[in-house]
Amino acid sequence: MNSQIDPKTLSTAPVASLPAGGEHETDVIVVGAGPVGLFAIFELGLLDLKCHLVDILDKPGGQCAELYPEKPIYDIPALPYCTGQELTDRLLEQAKPFAPTFHLGQMAESVEKLDDNRWCLTTDEGTRLIAPVIVIAAGGGSFQPKRPPIKGIEEYEEKSVFYAVRRMERFRDRKIVIAGGGDSALDWTVALNDIAKHVTLVHRRDDFRAAPDSVNKMRALVADGKMDFKVGQITNLEGADGELSGVRLKSKEEGEYSIDCDALLPFYGLTMKLGPVAKFGINLHENLIPVDTEKFETDVPGIFAIGDINSYPGKLKLILSGFHEAALMAQAAFRTIHPDKRLRFEYTTSSTNLQKKLGVA
């Protein structure tokens, strides 16, 4: 490890996220808590602009935390080596003085202009965020669950088939089948075991991609007779009007049979889709958002786009490009929010004003 900060001293505690619902006013709404959205908190914070961030994932870090938390990154300036998760933890640490508010596990779904010229962004969970500026840092788009190839599954979705656990209470006293062999499947198998009436984990083989610790916990629960694990593939759903009564399983050893359940949670991985950002009323080009390179503003004044989601001549989809874009966007966002205020250029090294904001002077 070449970096000076010992990663062990970085906080790995889960990031606090506000419960869904309600209305919140802020200076800037950031859509996407990937590395670029997280650095935007810092740049906006230096200019006294407060942020609320929305992300469909249940943790910050975007691609770095979701796709390659343990892979090394070698091209972050002055950080010769760090993993995707370490970079995320460092960005969170750097943003801490500005106390950002996170709305995790929620999809930014629609945007409307209010009479007072501010924006109202509404999430799929009904949270309303109001601010004069929106920054879209949505990367490759929202991570969306892969739908299992089971005929008619759409009819059951959000009634008895769920691709995410937003509220564990929803599964109290229910008979659940969880499908998959990765971290999400195993983590939720263990976590929901105390709440659900019964949990059956289904995976196509007796070998898991998930962390060995969760696999061991699951095996201990099976050994204690507290849950079941079945090898096989779900071929059909049984039930009516969106309410499951069971799933049909096919396995080499045991042939075809049904498992009684009233909820199915398939965790078959995530794909990235542009999703609702396409409906925000912004001009798109090949699923990217064209911006100017002075302010990183879209064709809609007051809505900016930074990071992998934007396009401009010469764009490189690198984290460091997103960091630069965040710095210029913050200056422009300040001018949008405070058109009459003077913006003074200052260095963190020498400005007591900035150091006070950072809590170091």
Ligand X SMILES: Cc1cc2nc3c(=O)[nH]c(=O)nc-3n(C[C@H](O)[C@H](O)[C@H](O)COP(=O)(O)OP(=O)(O)OC[C@H]3O[C@@H](n4cnc5c(N)ncnc54)[C@H](O)[C@@H]3O)c2cc1C
Q: Which residues bind ligand X (CB under 6 A)?
A: 31-37, 54-57, 62-64, 67-68, 73, 75, 107-108, 137-143, 275-277, 307-308, 317-320, 322
SS3 224: coil
Amino acid identity for residue 16 in this structure: A
> Which C-beta is closer to ligand X: that of 311 or that of 355?
311
CB nearest ligand X: which residue?
139
> Which C-beta is closer to ligand X: that of 33 or that of 46?
33
The H or E element that residue 189 is part of is: helix 183-192
Closest distance to ligand X from the beta carbon of 332 (Å): 18
Q: Which has the closest alpha carbon to 305: 20, 87, 31, 4?
A: 31
Closest distance to ligand X from the beta carbon of 144 (Å): 9
Closest distance to ligand X from the beta carbon of 273 (Å): 9
Phi and psi at residue 156, to the nearest 5°: -95, -10
Closest distance to ligand X from the beta carbon of 288 (Å): 11
User: Please, what sign has the CA dihedral across residues 222, 171, 129, 291?
Assistant: positive
Closest distance to ligand X from the beta carbon of 233 (Å): 28
Residues 232, 251 contacting (CB under 8 angstroms): yes
> Which C-beta is closer to ligand X: that of 210 or that of 319?
319
Strand partners, 297: 304
Tokens representing residue 311 in the block: 């396009």
> Which C-beta is closer to ligand X: that of 100 or that of 141?
141
SS3 321: helix
Closest distance to ligand X from the beta carbon of 75 (Å): 5
Tokens representing residue 94 in the block: 């750097």
Q: Which residues are CB-contacts of 69 (< 8 A; sequence separation ≥ 6)?
A: 61, 83, 84, 85, 88
> Which C-beta is closer to ligand X: that of 40 or that of 264?
40
Closest distance to ligand X from the beta carbon of 235 (Å): 31
Helix, strand, coil: what percent of the chain each, to 5?
Answer: 25, 30, 45
Residues 208, 186 contacting (CB under 8 angstroms): yes
CA geometry: angle at 206 spanning 203 and 207, to 5°? 95
> Which C-beta is closer to ligand X: that of 172 or that of 279?
279
